[in-house]
Amino acid sequence: MPHALCLLTKTMTEVIFVETSANRMEFRACEIAEENYARGRRLQIIAADQEQAERLDHLLWTFKPDTFIPHGLWAGSPDEPAQPVVITPRKEAVEGMDSLLMMGYGEVDLVSQFSQAFHLVVVDNQERLDGSRGYWTLLKDAGFSLRHQSRFSQFGRFRQFCQF
């Protein structure tokens, strides 16, 4: 009887490039956190710095008065319990998280540790827009599954601002 060879392969990370404006970036991050929590996904948000992490922590409490999203700031301790949504400026994966939201750019090795990742494309800042286009190319060349989401507002309007 022939022996079956079973290969375990890691699922390819899907990276979703989500359009936003500079002044809605943090609010859009909260919407993504809300969507992931509603789907039962555990989300890690990597903030640009500690100040942005603290703003996001506060905003998750206040951006919708009738909604609660369990979350917390993650300090990096291995014995620290992880909430369904964790916020950190540290560019390292938190154990148990399956989705990643980057407020900037994440290294390929970091992104590959998640089943799904979100990158915010700031469409009203040419430097950030060009950076996102370059990031798209980097991740595409690395073999990630990429998708572009042009949803621009919480009201579900769709508008194409750029092509990747």
> pLDDT tens across 89-133, in order?
999 999 899 999 999 999 999 999 999 999 999 999 899 999 999
More confident residue, 154 or 137: 137
In a domain, 117, yes or no: yes
Report pLDDT for 125: 87
pLDDT of 47 strictly over 70: yes
| CATH number assigned to the domain comprising residue 69 | 3.40.50.10110
This prediction's pTM: 0.83
Helices (H), 39-79: 50-62
Q: Which pLDDT score is estimated for 163?
A: 41
User: Residue 124 domain-assigned?
Assistant: yes
Q: For 7-23, what is each residue's pLDDT tens digit?
A: 444 458 999 999 999 99
In a domain, 4, yes or no: no
pLDDT (0 to 100) of residue 121: 93
Residue 5 pLDDT exceeds 70: no
Distance CA 1, CA 132 (A): 53
Q: Which domain holds residue 124?
A: 22-75+83-149
Structure confidence at residue 7 (pLDDT): 40
Rounded to an integer, what distance in angstroms lies between the CA atom of residue 15 and that of residue 13?
A: 6
Are the beta carbons of 117 and 135 closer than 8 angstroms?
A: no
In a domain, 127, yes or no: yes
Contact between 8 and 110 under an 8 Å Cβ cutoff? The reply is: no
Residue 105 lies in a domain: yes
Q: How many structural domains comprise the chain? A: 1
Helix (H, G, I), strand (E, B) or coil at 36: helix
State percent of the chain over pLDDT 90. 69
Residue 57 lies in a domain: yes
